[in-house]
Amino acid sequence: MNHLTNDKSSMIKGTMSRYWVGIDTGGTFTDVVIADTATGRYRFRKVPSNPADPAEAILRGLDTIMADAGVSGAELGFVGLGTTLATNAVLEGKTGRTAMLVTRGFTDVLELARQRRPHLYNLAIPKPRLPTSPADRIEVTERLDADGLVVTELDAEALQAQLATLDPAVEAVAICFLHAYRNPAHERQAAELLRRHLPAVPLCLSSEVNPEFREYERFSTTAVNASLLPVMDRYLERFSLGVAERGVASAPFAIQSSGGLVSPATLRRLPINTFFSGPAGGVVGAARVAAAIGVRDIITFDIGGTSTDVCLVKNGVPARAVQQEMAGLPVRTPSIDLHTIGAGGGSIAWVDAGGLPKVGPQSAGARPGPAAYGLGGTLPTVTDANMVLGRLNPVALLDGTMPVSAERAHAAVDSGVAQPLGLSVTEAAAGILEIANLNISGAVRVISVERGEDPRDYALFAFGGGGPLHAAEVAETMDMRQVIVPAHPGLMSALGLLAADIRGDFGQTCLAPANAEGLAAILAARAELDARGRRWIADEGLDPGQARFAWSLELRYAGQSSDLSLPIADFALTELTLAEVVTDFHRRHAERFGYAMPERKVEAVTLRLVAVVPRPEPPEELPGEAIMARAPERRAVWFRAVGFIDTPVLDRRGLTVGERLRGPLVIEQMDTTTIVPPGWLARHDSLGNLILEKEAGA
């Protein structure tokens, strides 16, 4: 099974049907794309999101794109979803009330949190909101030792009595016992008792959610997952039923934080895997587009309505992580290594008590939105600042389908920032833009400079509705000289869904010497992961003959708390091949940290498996129906270097392939606006990308 095909042309049941749909739902807009695999024609739509009922906007977008293309549900062979619902629920504290069963004496693990502070000298940082309150935690009499051997049997009678006291308002339960990653028997026993007592309440076990050592991280991950079960279950169920009701024969998929697709049924059990769902689709799509033009090293730069997501892609491969922080809590789930900050088009500008201007992280969201949108928003946002500075069309966005009001934007910036600071409206708007760009540049620095990578060696790949608006100036700040703007930047996450493979990620802690003595423990973990991978393929209804497995082993020197992951090419691990992996570990440790200790014992920490079932490549986009480009216009636009200047405003549909244009320019299209500052050149390549380059000497 580990030596199976890697051919992207392999067909998966259902994907032969002609039309594929990708849907990415964000805080402000829901983006929808449909691809005709027979003709290579694509259609795109942006519909307003519905924060009160996110599934409604998804299904409305699906109906809209099907009507645009004139197709029925029966003609759809693929429907993929990217979602930010789980992320928003955790950030906004809108998760379900969650109870937690823990080993006696360990109710305070989440509060203790390893006693680490995010910032050593800042004592005023608020603690994260925990997914479960102390009142909803039950101490269970049971105990395993570090090897998974029973020290104290689970007291089933006492637990039954405790469950009778559980508040009926509890919506989900997390079961987290000490050392359950070694032996899940007690967690499973408690789960059986709980199912008999509360059969309708969803629950999850730490030994299934995250069977890895480090109690705090495992408890946190499981508790967060449980708190999302009631939220995501209803949402994903409605999405799946809605797709089926429209006559789609193939079950839909959703994209995970890892950038791989999986069934909604799996995500209903593991909603934490959707934390970077939509942004991950954008990274997958961006890497594919960049590779097509021969660019392998990029920093993806996705600005939406509420946040900015950045990711480093080196040699065509996105950086990956096994743990991310969400609302101050560690969540261990495989993901593309995205760094997110609260800076987007809807980020609110405000003045703090000390008279200092700030931008974000608060956002106007979809409702009421920026003041310019005329949906009730009155607070100044980054979008309003761009409107005041002439960077956005002062009449309408989305190809004229979304009227905007420059007057409302002007009034919001004036009352919210200019007057409190004694500035002109232009000065206030320019300050908002400068603060936003500095915040965003800081995010780029985190995933490049702070991780030993020189951003000057990378191109900035700008997408999202706001990415091309800010990209060139952020690139200047980071001394980067090339920006890539794809053909449909505002819809890149939806497009990326069409290019993603089906993927499952699995990990199992082994904690054994990386030598002959520990080989049995490593092989036992491998057997467990192999069985889990096979069960996952069966549960997903996939063809095992198309699957390919990739293995990796995390190693560390004895006494270390951090580890390095190394690929294992040989599935049948032996003493000899394990010794080769250890030799490679010494070499890579020296490369990464500047030293190696070959005389010190090496420990195998966690074995990981990635199971992938490839999907066919989406078709290359062919030109659609010719649409007459608007005639070039001119308007006063503000740039950092020169202030307001009379600037050409072009319709992207009117650009000629290979034509080189000198900034300053504003290039408008349906889903975004690209700013080309003075000292930059822009050209339209044969694949529809807009390439911005800093002029030599500028």
The 3-state DSSP class for residue 373 equals: helix
Residue 320's contacts (CB-CB under 8 Å, 6 or more residues apart) are 258, 334, 335, 336, 337
| Residue 570: predicted pLDDT | 67
- Whether domain 502-613 has CATH 1.20.140: no
| Residue 508: predicted pLDDT | 94
Residue 153's contacts (CB-CB under 8 Å, 6 or more residues apart) are 142
Pairing state of beta strands 602-613 and 317-318?
A: unpaired
Q: What share of the chain is helix, strand, coil (3-state, %, to 5)?
A: 35, 25, 40
Nearest one of 634, 579, 624 to 602, comparing CA atoms: 579
Predicted TM-score (pTM) of this structure: 0.86
Q: What residue segments make up the domains of the chain, in order of their start? A: 91-232, 502-613
**Euclidean distance between CA atoms 53 and 46, whole angstroms:** 17
Residue 359's contacts (CB-CB under 8 Å, 6 or more residues apart) are 343, 347, 348, 349, 350, 382, 432, 435, 436, 439
| Residue 677: predicted pLDDT | 97
| Residue 5: predicted pLDDT | 32
The 3-state DSSP class for residue 691 equals: strand
**Euclidean distance between CA atoms 493 and 510, whole angstroms:** 36
Are 187 and 170 spatial neighbours (Cβ–Cβ below 8 Å)? no
Residues pairing with 45 in the sheet = 32
| Residue 623: predicted pLDDT | 61
**Euclidean distance between CA atoms 14 and 150, whole angstroms:** 48
| Residue 16: predicted pLDDT | 54
Q: At what angle do helices 467-477 and 425-447 cross, to 10 degrees?
A: 70
| Residue 684: predicted pLDDT | 93
Q: Which one of 1.10.3470, 3.30.70, 3.40.1360, 3.40.50 gives the CATH number of domain 91-232?
A: 3.40.1360
| Residue 676: predicted pLDDT | 97
**Euclidean distance between CA atoms 482 and 692, whole angstroms:** 6
Are 301 and 444 spatial neighbours (Cβ–Cβ below 8 Å)? yes
Residues of the chain predicted below pLDDT 70? 1-16, 27, 570-571, 622-628, 698
